[in-house]
Amino acid sequence: MAQYTPMMQQYLKIKAEQKDAFLFFRLGDFYEMFFDDALSASRELEITLTSRDGGGEDRIPMCGVPYHSAENYIKQLIEKGFKVAICEQVEDPRTAKGVVKREVVQLITPGTVMEGSMLDEKENNYLASVSKFSDGTYTVSYNDLTTGENSIALVTDGFDAVLSELFNRPVKEVVVDESFDEAKQQMFKDRLGFTISYSNNTEIDEQFYPLVESIHSDKFIEGFGRLLQYIKHTQKRSLDHLRPVQTIELKKYMSLDMYSKRNLELVETLRKQGKKGSLLSVMDHTITAMGSRTLKKWLERPLLLKEDIKGRHDQLEGLLEHFFERETIREQLSSVYDLERLAGRVAYGNVNARDLIQLKHSLSSIPEIMETLKQFEHPAVDDLFRSIDPLPNLRLLLEESLNEDAPITIKEGGMIRDGYHAQLDEYRDASRNGKKWIAELEAEERKQTGIKSLKIGYNRVFGYYIEVTKANIAHLPEGRYERKQTLTNAERYITPELKEKESLILEAQDKSMELEYQLFLEVREQVKEYVHPLQLLAEQISRIDVLQGFAQLADEQSYVRPQFNENRTIDIKQGRHPVVEQVMKNESFVPNDVFMDQTKDILLITGPNMSGKSTYMRQLALTSIMAQIGSFVPCESASLAIFDQIFTRIGAADDLVSGQSTFMVEMLEANHALSHATENSLILLDEIGRGTSTYDGMALAQAIVEHIHENVRAKTLFSTHYHELTTLEEELVRLKNIHVRAEEYEGHVIFLHQIQDGAADESYGIHVAKLAELPNELIERATYLLNTLESGRQEVSAAKEQQQLSLFEEEKPVQQKNTSPLEKRVGSLNLMEMTPMDAMNELYQLQKQLKS
């Protein structure tokens, strides 16, 4: 260190404490970066890399960004998963002795962003922490710093369940203990794309005790303490807006693992990984940003308690009955800004006058919304507004204190309304009258001197001055004008009268701006007292917004209220896929029924590719999810069971990140469903077994169906191309064959997309290839091969039948023979007690033994 200059030593000392972050080191009007930070930042931000002398033998790499435009550069780094430590000058350079004192005033990370330009207004920005305990359980804690929301859940089903839980929310960063398993940390990075941070301290400071008053679990205290300590370490400022921790009781919500959420495309599509084309995009008819975030939370956690679901349906029904009043509500909601994040910024201390004006407008709309809701005259709708506090005192404070056209900056004046503070009014009066006096003086000087071009001006360096062109200098009276500045074509002067008035005017202006800044800080502190009531108000308005959006959707798309039964029956009449029907637009979507009562647990679906099997399966899952978040559903009528979990295996995609093939992913997802499903779950399995050879696949598919039928007993939709499986209907009493109807006309297949009872008679694979416009010679060759194969299959089948008949022509004495160890092992297997994965492994071992 001694070889470097004092300033560079200061930088290195601070950087040593921020090893995993870019250090933005304030030097004048720039944030500078040095050494490795400079090399990396110049590459990531595509800015010029230069160097400077720092006292050592070699020049030091350096790059920098202007202070006034740093936010955009910080945003780029945060979006790439980096952290940025902001190091500011904390003493006046004019009074500093030696190197100006500097400190890190904030650490910005992907999970702790507060700046609005770096956030998606319709999505939460969660920081999470994961703590593991000796009994194999985990706690998962969440915080959204922008809204103050805190929550925690206990996960008892292993690390895969932790991944699914984290996948369920828009988490950007996860905090763990430094001893946390490295392989699991890598899974956070590779599979979920998280930034990893560390905190070993789990103590909760006394000032934060109110946040955990309702928590009585030591695991929860430790898990949340880790998260809180990290927030405290990175933010270094007021955290008064943090809300009490809510316990997420996972058993109160439908469980959706990461596979199901992805395969059903609830919040983003598989292909483009964007919102458009997802269920969220179809359902989001909210007006406010906080309403949109609430809808996403509801989608992530469908309800399980019938009374809670009924409560939402009742309120939705009440809103749906009054079209004109609902339109008025939508119009009024458009004047409500993001109360959640405004409250967060107030507490955080980075709110400006414009933000508070937005808050005032929002509060002005609340009484209007409440009055409109009264007009619905529906008891469930009354519950939506009965407990709302419109905060009239806060609204009055903002109306009396702030100018409507307040500027963005808070140090240049113009924020406080006239009449709010007597001393400020006096300063303003002096300043305004002074300017009027200046205008009168200019007119008087022109009259006395006869110089029409004479003018009085002002600049920050010289203050007020009288400017006269050089051609008119001779007309100035002697003795009263004192030269102040010489220009190329003019001279600037000062007079005793002007000097005296300048002192009064400038003093009034300076004092006015200084007082106004102090008054604004006082107003902001008064608003800060309303942070928690504002957060409660935001929750209530968000709920109203989501439910009116549900009503709007139900009205536009003719959705109906679902009913729930206790006997595990699914009875949907003319059900539709909520996303596909909107994507099709002008084309008419073909609706279908779904019926499964206590006597039927499995629907085995056959039919050609492109006929709609996957759509039919997905629409049942989406209908159930929509019903359990409180929405009406796309059909003519629906009586549903409440599902505790939904498992899906739809679509094939290699997991290249973890090096797993399509077939392995297929087996892992199938195993996950079979291991965790209950009789109150819904399982969707599409084309299981297609990732391996025909006979392997067919055997596994049949074993899985049998296992679900005999052991799991969950409601299951199982689509397949293995027509041989349709014979299972004769063996499994709670299985029913259905197929998607298609017709052949003049050598072409026509998909009717209608579900009918029974098995499909053929697969139409070559017809689908023809629709894909494969070469004609290829289609003809495939047709020839198909006919040949089918002829051969018929001959083999006839030979087998003849062979079987011959067995009964005459009885032959049974010959005793020695039983081999291999036969004994096969005979000892209890297939009905084995999972499909166990069966596959056992088959592999037997084959290996046979070959040896």
> Per the annotation, where are the binding residues for ATP?
607-614
Task: Report the sign of the C-alpha dihedral through residues 292, 632, 329, 379, in that order.
Answer: negative
Task: Report the sign of the C-alpha dihedral through residues 415, 421, 424, 425, in that order.
Answer: positive
d(CA 615, CA 579): 10
H-type alpha helices, 492-597: 496-528, 531-557, 580-584
3-state DSSP call for residue 1? Answer: coil
Residues 535, 346: contact at Cβ < 8 Å? no
d(CA 725, CA 731): 11
Strand pairing category for 637-640 and 102-108: unpaired
Which residues partner with 486 through β-bridges? Answer: 491
Q: Using the CB atoms, write b or e for 541-573: b if 16+ within 10 Å.
A: bbbbbbbbbbbbbbeeeebebbebeeebbbbbe
Which residues line the annotated binding site? 607-614
Which helix or strand (DSSP H or E) is residue 20 part of? none
d(CA 434, CA 512): 13
Both structure tokens of 667: 């087996």
The DSSP string of 87-131 is EEE-S-TTT-SSSPPEEEEEEE-TTS---GGGS-TTS--EEEEEE
d(CA 348, CA 241): 7
Number of H helices, E strands in the chain: 26, 27
**Which residues, 6+ apart, have CB-to-CB distance to 356 below 8 Å?**
346, 398, 402, 406, 523, 524, 527
3-state DSSP call for residue 349? Answer: coil
> What are φ and ψ of residue 573, in 5° steps?
-100, 125
The DSSP string of 232-300 is HHHH-S--TTPPPPEE--GGGB-EE-HHHHHHTTSSS-TTT-SSTTSHHHHH---SSHHHHHHHHHHHH
Task: Report the sign of the C-alpha dihedral through residues 322, 324, 326, 329, in that order.
Answer: negative
**Which residues, 6+ apart, have CB-to-CB distance to 88 below 8 Å?**
26, 102, 103, 105
Which among 214, 217, 243, 216 is positioned nearest to 228, based on CA atoms? Answer: 243
d(CA 675, CA 656): 24
Which among 43, 42, 34, 40 is positioned nearest to 16, based on CA atoms? Answer: 34
> What are φ and ψ of residue 93, in 5° steps?
-60, -25
Taking each helix axis as running N to C, give the angle between helix 306-320 and helix 531-557, from 0 to 180 degrees, rounded to the nearest 10. 70
Which helix or strand (DSSP H or E) is residue 438 part of? helix 422-449
